[in-house]
Amino acid sequence: MTAVLTRRPGLARIRTAGSPLHHLCLAVVVLVTLAAVAAPWLVPHDPNAVDLGSALAAPSAGHPLGVDAAGRDTLSRLLLGARTSLLGPLGVVVFSTVAGVAIGTAAAWRGGRLDTLLSRSTELVFAFPGMLLAILIISVYGEGLLAPVLALAVAYLPYVSRLTRSLVLAERERPYVSAYRVQGHSALQICLRHVLPNIAPVVLAQSTINFGYALMDLAGLSFLGLGVPALTPDWGRMVFDGQTAIQHGYPLSAVLSCAAIVLTVVAFNVVGERWADRVARRDR
C-alpha cells in the first residue's frame, strides 16, 4: 500500500445535492429550528391563556389553527412547543456526543484495561433501552426535563462511543498519525487537532440520526406526563391533551402536534442518513 499523506476533507465540502425528499427534509429542519428560535416573537397568544368560551373552536382569524380543549391557542402552543421539544433532544445529543467521543477516543487510543471496561459497561447499557432508563431515573427524581435528558444521554452514549472507537482505531493506523508522532506531537494534540476533525463527519451524522430518536423518546415521556412540567407547551404533551379532544370529536390539535413530531423526526433522520451516506461514499 502506498502511503498518501493527505488529510481527509473533514467537515468541509460535503455536497448537499440530493433528491427532492432530501431537500424537503432539509427545509423542514431549517424551518422547525427557526420557528423554535423565533417562537417568542411569533406567537399570537399567550400559550397558557385559557379562553374556555372558545374551547375546541375551529380555526378562525384570531386562532389560525383553532383552540384546544382547555381553551388555549393551538398555534402558539405548537410554536413554543418546538422550543422544549427540540431543546431536550439537543441536550441529549450534545452530552452523548461529547462524552461518547471522549470515551471512545480514549478507549481506542489507550486500549488495554480501559477498553475492556468500556466494552463491558457498553453491554450493560445496551440491555437498558433508553426509555426504560429514563423512567427508572424519573421514578427516583420526579418529573422534569433534566433527569430524562441525562438518562437518555447515558443510554445513547454507547452508540457514539462504539462508533468513535472503531473510527479512531482505523485512523490510528494511518500514516499521518505516525508522522505527527515522529515530529513529537503529544497524543492529546494529535487526537484533538487531527484525528477528531477527520472522524467528525461520521460521528455528527450519527448524532443527527440520534436527535430524531431522542425527540421521539422525550415526546413519549411528555405524553406520559413524566417529561416537561405540566404547563410547559410541548408536542408530546399536546398529543396527550389532544387525545381527550379527539374523543369529543375534535381531532385538529392532536393531529397537528402528531404531524409536528413525525415530520421533524423524519426530517432529521433523512438528513442524517443522507449525510452519513455521503461521508461514507467520499471516504471510499
Partner 1 sequence: MSFAGFAARRLLEMAVTLFAASFVVFGALYLAPGDPASFLLAGRSASPEALAAVKAQYHLDDPFLVRYGHWLGDVLQGDFGRSLTYRTDVSRLLADRLPTTLLLVAMALLVVAVVGLFLGRLAAVRGGATDSAVLVATTFAVGTPSFVAAVLLQGLFAVRLGWFPSSGAGEGFADKVWHLTLPAIALALYLIGMLARVTRSAMLEALDSEHVTVARSRGVPERQVIRRHVFRNSLGTVLTTGGLVVSTLLVCTVLVETAFSVGGIGQLLELSTSTKDFPTVQAISLIIVALFMTVNLIVDLLLPLVDPRITLGTRGAAA
In the complex with partner 1, the residue whose CB is nearer, 16 or 139, is 139
Distance between CA atoms of 114 and 217, rounded to whole angstroms? 30
Distance, first Cα to last Cα, the chain: 15
Q: How far is the CB of 144 from partner 1 (least distance, A)?
A: 13
Q: How far is the CB of 3 from partner 1 (least distance, A)?
A: 28
Residues 270, 90, 73: CA angle, nearest 5 degrees: 90
In the complex with partner 1, the residue whose CB is nearer, 57 or 261, is 261
In the complex with partner 1, the residue whose CB is nearer, 196 or 266, is 266
Q: How far is the CB of 223 from partner 1 (least distance, A)?
A: 5
**Which one-letter amino acid corresponds to residue 240?**
F
Q: How far is the CB of 210 from partner 1 (least distance, A)?
A: 13
H runs (alpha helix) in the chain: 20-42, 74-110, 112-127, 130-141, 146-172, 175-182, 187-190, 196-223, 235-247, 252-283
What is the contact surface with partner 1 in residues (CB under 8 A)? 21, 123-124, 127-129, 131-132, 135-143, 212, 216, 219-220, 223-226, 236, 239, 242-243, 246-247, 249, 251, 254-255, 258, 261-263, 265-266, 269-270
- In sequence order, the β-bridge partners of residue 73 are 67
In the complex with partner 1, the residue whose CB is nearer, 73 or 241, is 241
Question: Residue 44 — φ and ψ, nearest 5°?
Answer: -80, -25
